[in-house]
Amino acid sequence: MKPSKQNRAEISVSQHKMYSGPVPDPDSLAKYEQISPGFADRILKMAEKEQEERIVTQRQVIEAEKEFNFRELNNFKRGQIFALIAVFLIVLMCIYAFNLGYGKEARDIAIAVIASVAGIFITGRFFSKSKSTGKGQGD
- The answer to whether 130 and 136 have CB atoms below 8 angstroms apart is yes
**pLDDT of res. 1:** 55
Distance CA 66, CA 70 (A): 6
What are the domain boundaries of the chain? 26-133
The residue ranking higher by pLDDT, 34 or 138, is: 34
- Please name the residue ranges forming H helices in the chain: 26-35, 39-99, 103-133
Distance CA 43, CA 67 (A): 36
Can you tell me the mean pLDDT for 31-41? Answer: 90
pLDDT in tens, 39-89: 989 989 999 999 999 999 999 999 999 999 999 999 989 988 988 898 889
Can you tell me the mean pLDDT for 104-129? Answer: 83
Distance CA 33, CA 40 (A): 5
